[in-house]
């Protein structure tokens, strides 16, 4: 195996040198881009230590200290560093490097996405552009001059404000940008290409007019409006909620097709995966619209939480990501149904983050040990990180939380700080002791709460006892009791009790007593998912029914239904013959008849997913779990057939609208379709919906239903869909995904064939994720096939991706390394493939880190 060593949070040291200004001149060329980097450098403190700069995958052309060009004997160069000794207190360092953007398939540093040059520097990509102190606590003021051919690259963009431009000989031109805000190098960005440009402006609360520019591939202007509208909503929201105003005169967003993740918050110049920019009624689903808005908001919010105040070191990543996810979630909740938005967040935590905690890569939201930083842009750092911020919000209340945010910016604007600094601001502003709460930052794993209760009819008292448990995690960390905020609502069947509130669990076991309780209540625990924990309380069906109907909090009503379903799915895993009680169907009939909004009803009707269930069960037999979910689903479908048909029909309309009600209607309609797909007449229904659809939500739901139920019309609708959408990259991604989700024993053959489809390219992360990822993540049935064909398929693709794009490979290996969730047979089969991968001789650091953890 290749040798790479980890880094530890405890080893943090302030840098020996600071770099205060950076002047870059970048002469773009496909294979020989020349970067001249002129830096003002000075020592931090008095010392004689050498300067060691990071640099990889480049050719060093020259090094100059002040006016002296160094000879090779005056510096030390190896694969990843450049070291220069005997330096003065302060000096100008000029470094020239040459890079090859076209060969850069890892999409880190400067690369070419189709005909566009673009950069991705977070976490450690700047070191592929020039030699630098590539760490977030080195902050400099950047000036960037870009030179390129004028015809092919009419737009030359970088951070900050445009200060100069002009023509050069040979049809070349240049543009110079200056960013007045000191920033870490991970926020540096450059883009060059030819685009269509959507222009707008936003007037900030203090009256400054900010230019807004959205750059998209030629011909895509009509699909970029939603992103622009979302940006303006985000800017307004951040002023209204947090009093945070944009700071530069211009905000630019560029959409590119080749991108490793969703988007990047580079100062003043966001680079986006086109998937999170482009959307129009015909080609984007309601979820796509929602996600575009959320990602636009997320990146915009980073301008304060991330850019103005950044991270001291990468272990602090959740400082900016957890907080910014929380902010984008609050924004989405304000723009849409807050309950439905919250349900979406919670499902991700329960299904995926809990699985991460239970797997070999378990880590605290502030990791302590990292080999490859890109491996830590995780559900734990992001989603659990957001839950931790949310708990502080719950504990402190909205006003005190906002006072904490205000103090955080007063203290740290322009600095690179730590999670401790953030919590200190929260604690000081609210006068609240958060010392025990801080263990949430250092402790990995999902806590489990065991809850028991006792009702005394004589004294009319009710007691709740809550015990915290902290199961061992793969990192073998010592565990502490945490400060866990638990939202409790006591519900009675006659619905006349109004008690509850926020309990603060801090000890191993604690008991709370409620007085004046005249009938035995049912406790709705962990309302609105007030903490990212698992909960054990012995509810019976009747309790859950009471909660489904009477809980005042919508979230609790939904959650009770999920618990009811989950209980039966667990039983069905062990006993497929189990007789299901009519009450389940009756409870859902009540849901269908209620006057709740349709988006919420849709959520209430959806069964817990395979992943959510897998995270809640030990040693899952995947086949048995898939079967259990489908037995319950079929039972509900059969019992409620006529109601589903009636609801479905009542929601079929020829008019297309995009308001909340219309979106809710489509959601509910398609949940009905999903149930009806199990019954007679499914094929006709689906075909009909496919043919009638005047929007992507309905069209996609039709082909997905055909795939998941292996309906006769499947091949036909897929051919027709591809014919209609060929050439539309984002829609064809959906088509590839649906192929991968086909619930048919020949699916591996199908997707193997698609690897050579003219529109497939493994180099494009969206495509790779669409085909390979959708299979491994969403086709639980055939990915876990007993013949191991699913695992082998993933192995084959990972060997290719390891060499092409390690970050993508490292994401897609997730379902394999989580083998411990499954029964022994499956574990063994998965391990065989992991062992094979670990033998690769060019193993990337990204995969190596995960394989080492998994096979330990």
Which of 63, 123, 346, 853 is in the footprint of ligand B3K by CB under 6 A?
A: 123
Q: By C-beta, is 321 or 597 nearer to ligand B3K?
A: 321
Inter-axis angle of helices 554-574 and 338-348, nearest 10? 40
Establish if 213 lies at the interface with ligand B3K (CB under 6 A). no
Which of 138, 244, 261, 605 is in the footprint of ligand B3K by CB under 6 A?
A: 261
Smallest separation (angstroms) from ligand B3K to the CB of 33: 22
Contact predicate 354/323, CB 8 Å: no
Q: By C-beta, is 405 or 614 nearer to Zn ion?
A: 405
Tokens of 63: 């090094």
Q: Is 69 exposed, middle or buried (0-12, 13-18, 19+ CB in 10 A)?
A: exposed
Distances in Å between the Cα of 725 and the Cα atoms of 501, 654, 699, 729, 730 are 52, 21, 12, 8, 9
Establish if 122 lies at the interface with ligand B3K (CB under 6 A). yes
3-state secondary structure 593-628: HCCCCHHHHHHHHCCCCHHHHHHHCCCECHHHHHHH
Smallest separation (angstroms) from ligand B3K to the CB of 298: 5
Listed ranges 196-204, 316-324, 406-414, 660-668: which one lies at the site for Zn ion (CB under 5 A)? 316-324
Establish if 377 lies at the interface with ligand B3K (CB under 6 A). yes
Q: By C-beta, is 217 or 321 nearer to Zn ion?
A: 321
Q: CA-CA distance, 453 to 461, in Å (whole number)?
A: 11
Query: According to CB under 5 A, which residues from 317 to 336 bind Zn ion?
Result: 321, 324
Query: What would the x/- binding string for ligand B3K be over residues 787 to 826, using CB under 6 A?
Result: ----------------------------------------
Listed ranges 258-266, 477-485, 511-519, 557-565: which one lies at the site for ligand B3K (CB under 6 A)? 258-266
Q: Is 428 exposed, middle or buried (0-12, 13-18, 19+ CB in 10 A)?
A: middle
Listed ranges 161-169, 315-323, 473-481, 496-504: which one lies at the site for Zn ion (CB under 5 A)? 315-323
> For this structure, is 299 an active site residue?
yes
Which of 264, 379, 544, 637 is in the footprint of ligand B3K by CB under 6 A?
A: 264
Q: Residue 264 touches which of ligand B3K, Zn ion, none (CB < 5 to 8 A by kind)?
A: ligand B3K
Q: By C-beta, is 322 or 622 nearer to Zn ion?
A: 322
Q: Residue 361 touches which of Zn ion, ligand B3K, none (CB < 5 to 8 A by kind)?
A: none
Inter-axis angle of helices 385-396 and 317-335, nearest 10? 70
End-to-end CA distance of the chain: 14
Contact predicate 485/502, CB 8 Å: yes
Contact predicate 272/259, CB 8 Å: yes
Establish if 299 lies at the interface with ligand B3K (CB under 6 A). yes
Strand (E) or helix (H) holding 225 = helix 225-242
Smallest separation (angstroms) from ligand B3K to the CB of 376: 9
Q: By C-beta, is 118 or 311 nearer to Zn ion?
A: 311
Q: Residue 430 touches which of ligand B3K, Zn ion, none (CB < 5 to 8 A by kind)?
A: none
Establish if 288 lies at the interface with ligand B3K (CB under 6 A). no
Q: How large is the greatest C-alpha to C-alpha distance in the chain, in angstroms? A: 95
Q: Residue 374 touches which of ligand B3K, Zn ion, none (CB < 5 to 8 A by kind)?
A: ligand B3K
Contact predicate 692/651, CB 8 Å: no
Strands 161-167 and 172-184, how do they pair? antiparallel
Strand (E) or helix (H) holding 230 = helix 225-242
The closest alpha carbon to 440, from 488, 477, 412, belongs to 477
Establish if 321 lies at the interface with ligand B3K (CB under 6 A). yes
Tokens of 793: 């398929």
Listed ranges 35-43, 295-303, 442-450, 632-640: which one lies at the site for ligand B3K (CB under 6 A)? 295-303
Strand (E) or helix (H) holding 732 = helix 729-740
Establish if 374 lies at the interface with ligand B3K (CB under 6 A). yes
Listed ranges 263-271, 548-556, 771-779, 845-853: which one lies at the site for ligand B3K (CB under 6 A)? 263-271
Q: Residue 352 touches which of Zn ion, ligand B3K, none (CB < 5 to 8 A by kind)?
A: none
Listed ranges 261-269, 546-554, 626-634, 661-669: which one lies at the site for ligand B3K (CB under 6 A)? 261-269
- Residues of the chain by 3-state class (helix, strand, coil), percent to 5: 45, 20, 35
Tokens of 596: 């709740």
Q: Residue 158 touches which of Zn ion, ligand B3K, none (CB < 5 to 8 A by kind)?
A: none
Query: According to CB under 5 A, which residues from 592 to 651 bind Zn ion?
Result: none
Smallest separation (angstroms) from ligand B3K to the CB of 846: 10
Establish if 265 lies at the interface with ligand B3K (CB under 6 A). yes
Q: By C-beta, is 302 or 767 nearer to ligand B3K?
A: 302
Q: CA-CA distance, 291 to 470, in Å (whole number)?
A: 34
Establish if 474 lies at the interface with ligand B3K (CB under 6 A). no
Contact predicate 328/297, CB 8 Å: yes
Smallest separation (angstroms) from ligand B3K to the CB of 311: 10
Q: CA-CA distance, 64 to 767, in Å (whole number)?
A: 43
Catalytic residue chosen out of the listed positions 299, 321, 356, 849: 299
Determine the size of the site formed for ligand B3K (CB under 6 A).
12
Q: By C-beta, is 123 or 678 nearer to Zn ion?
A: 123
Tokens of 418: 């730590």
Q: By C-beta, is 296 or 343 nearer to Zn ion?
A: 296
Q: By C-beta, is 324 or 337 nearer to Zn ion?
A: 324
Q: By C-beta, is 261 or 708 nearer to ligand B3K?
A: 261
Establish if 235 lies at the interface with ligand B3K (CB under 6 A). no
Q: CA-CA distance, 152 to 193, in Å (whole number)?
A: 7
Q: By C-beta, is 326 or 714 nearer to Zn ion?
A: 326
Residues in contact with 769: Cβ distance below 8 Å, sequence separation at least 6, in sequence order: 733, 808, 811, 812
Strand (E) or helix (H) holding 157 = strand 155-158
Q: Residue 853 touches which of Zn ion, ligand B3K, none (CB < 5 to 8 A by kind)?
A: none
Q: CA-CA distance, 295 to 272, in Å (whole number)?
A: 9
Smallest separation (angstroms) from Zn ion to the CB of 381: 10
- DSSP 8-state assignment for residue 74: G
Q: Residue 709 touches which of ligand B3K, Zn ion, none (CB < 5 to 8 A by kind)?
A: none
Q: Residue 261 touches which of ligand B3K, Zn ion, none (CB < 5 to 8 A by kind)?
A: ligand B3K
Distances in Å between the Cα of 811 and the Cα atoms of 309, 806, 850 are 28, 9, 10
Smallest separation (angstroms) from Zn ion to the CB of 319: 11
Which of 298, 390, 563, 811 is in the footprint of ligand B3K by CB under 6 A?
A: 298
Q: Residue 375 touches which of Zn ion, ligand B3K, none (CB < 5 to 8 A by kind)?
A: none
Strands (E), 204-277: 209-216, 250-256, 263-264, 269-273
Tokens of 161: 């404000």
Listed ranges 37-45, 134-142, 262-270, 561-569: which one lies at the site for ligand B3K (CB under 6 A)? 262-270
Listed ranges 294-302, 330-338, 596-604, 724-732: which one lies at the site for ligand B3K (CB under 6 A)? 294-302
DSSP code string of 524-592: EESTT--SS-EEE----HHHHHHHHHH-SSHHHHHHHHHHHHHHHHHHHHH-TT-PPPHHHHHHHHHHH
Strand (E) or helix (H) holding 69 = strand 68-69
Residues that bind ligand B3K (CB under 6 A): 122-123, 261, 263-265, 298-299, 302, 321, 374, 377
Q: Which residues are marked as active site?
A: 299
State the residues that interact with Zn ion by CB under 5 A: 321, 324
């Amino acid at each position: 195996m290749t040798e790479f060593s980890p880094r530890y949070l405890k080893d943090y040291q302030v840098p020996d040198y600071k770099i205060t200004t950076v002047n870059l001149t970048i002469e773009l060329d496909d294979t020989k881009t020349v970067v001249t980097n002129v830096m003002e450098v000075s020592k931090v403190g008095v010392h004689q230590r050498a300067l060691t700069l990071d640099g990889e995958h480049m050719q060093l052309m020259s090094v100059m200290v002040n006016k002296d060009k160094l000879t090779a004997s005056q510096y030390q160069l190896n694969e990843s560093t450049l070291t220069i000794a005997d330096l003065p207190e302060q000096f100008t360092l000029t470094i020239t490097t040459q890079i090859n953007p076209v060969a850069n398939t890892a999409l880190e540093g400067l690369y070419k996405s189709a005909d566009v040059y673009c950069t991705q520097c977070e976490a450690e990509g700047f070191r592929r552009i020039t030699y630098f102190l590539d760490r977030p606590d080195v902050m400099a003021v950047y000036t960037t001059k870009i030179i390129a051919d004028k015809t092919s690259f009419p737009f030359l963009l970088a951070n900050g404000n445009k200060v100069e431009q002009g023509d050069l000989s040979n049809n070349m031109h240049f543009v110079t940008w200056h960013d007045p805000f000191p920033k870490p190098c991970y926020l540096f960005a450059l883009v060059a290409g030819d685009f269509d440009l959507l222009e707008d402006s936003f007037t900030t609360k203090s009256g400054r007019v900010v230019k807004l520019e959205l750059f998209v591939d030629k011909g895509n202007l009509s699909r970029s409006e939603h992103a622009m509208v979302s940006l303006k909503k985000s800017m307004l929201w951040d002023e209204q909620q947090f009093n945070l105003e944009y700071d530069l005169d211009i905000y630019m967003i560029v959409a590119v097709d080749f991108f490793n993740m969703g988007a990047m918050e580079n100062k003043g110049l966001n680079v986006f995966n086109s998937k999170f920019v482009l959307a129009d009624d015909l080609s984007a689903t309601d979820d796509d619209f929602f996600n575009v808005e959320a990602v636009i908001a997320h990146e915009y919010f980073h301008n304060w939480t991330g850019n103005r105040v950044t991270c001291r070191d990468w272990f602090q990543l959740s400082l900016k990501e957890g907080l910014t996810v929380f902010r984008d979630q609050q924004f989405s909740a304000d723009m849409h149904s807050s309950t439905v938005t919250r349900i979406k967040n919670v499902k991700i935590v329960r299904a995926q983050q809990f699985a991460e905690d239970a797997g070999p890569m378990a880590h605290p939201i502030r990791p302590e040990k990292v080999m490859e930083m890109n491996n830590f842009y995780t559900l734990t750092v992001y989603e659990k990180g957001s839950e931790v911020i949310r708990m502080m919000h719950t504990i402190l209340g909205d006003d005190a939380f906002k006072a904490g945010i205000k103090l955080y910016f007063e203290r740290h604007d322009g600095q690179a700080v730590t999670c401790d600094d953030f919590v200190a601001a929260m604690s000081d502003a609210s006068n609240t002791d958060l010392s025990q709460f801080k263990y949430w930052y250092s402790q990995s794993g999902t806590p489990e709460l065991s809850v028991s209760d006792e009702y005394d009819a004589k004294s009319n008292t009710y007691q709740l006892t809550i015990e915290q448990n902290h199961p061992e995690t793969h990192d073998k960390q010592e565990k502490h009791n945490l400060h866990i905020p638990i939202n409790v609502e006591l519900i009675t069947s006659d619905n006349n009790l109004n008690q509850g509130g926020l309990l603060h669990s801090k000890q191993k076991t604690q008991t709370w007593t409620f007085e004046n309780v005249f009938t035995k209540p049912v406790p709705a625990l962990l309302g609105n998912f007030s903490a990212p924990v698992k909960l054990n309380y012995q509810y019976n069906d009747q309790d859950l029914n009471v909660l489904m109907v009477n809980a005042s909090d919508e979230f609790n009503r939904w959650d009770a239904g999920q618990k009811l379903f989950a209980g039966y799915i667990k039983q069905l895993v062990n006993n497929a013959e189990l007789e299901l009680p009519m009450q389940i169907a009756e409870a859902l009939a009540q849901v269908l008849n209620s006057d709740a909004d349709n988006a919420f009803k849709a959520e209430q009707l959806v069964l817990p997913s395979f992943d959510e269930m897998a995270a809640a069960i030990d040693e899952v037999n995947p086949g048995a779990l898939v079967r259990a979910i489908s037995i319950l689903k079929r039972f509900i479908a059969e019992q409620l057939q006529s109601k589903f048909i009636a609801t479905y029909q009542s929601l079929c309309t020829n008019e297309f609208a995009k308001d909340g009600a219309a979106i809710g209607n489509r959601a509910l309609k398609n949940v009905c379709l999903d149930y009806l797909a199990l019954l007679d007449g499914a094929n006709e229904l689906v075909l009909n919906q496919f043919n009638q659809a005047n929007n992507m939500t309905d069209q996609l739901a039709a082909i997905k239903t055909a795939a998941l139920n292996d309906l006769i019309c499947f091949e036909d609708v897929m051919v027709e869909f591809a014919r209609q959408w060929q050439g539309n990259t984002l829609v064809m991604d959906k088509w590839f995904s649906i192929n991968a989700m086909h619930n048919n024993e020949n699916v591996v053959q199908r997707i193997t064939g698609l690897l050579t489809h003219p529109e497939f390219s493994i180099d494009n992360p969206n495509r790779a994720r669409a085909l390979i990822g959708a299979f491994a993540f969403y086709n639980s049935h055939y990915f876990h096939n007993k013949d191991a064909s699913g695992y082998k398929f993933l192995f084959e693709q990972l060997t290719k991706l390891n060499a092409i794009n390690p970050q993508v490979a490292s994401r897609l290996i997730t379902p394999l390394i989580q083998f411990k969730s499954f029964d022994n047979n499956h574990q063994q089969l998965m391990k065989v493939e992991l062992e094979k991968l670990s033998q690769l001789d060019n193993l990337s650091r990204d995969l190596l880190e995960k394989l080492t953890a998994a096979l330990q």
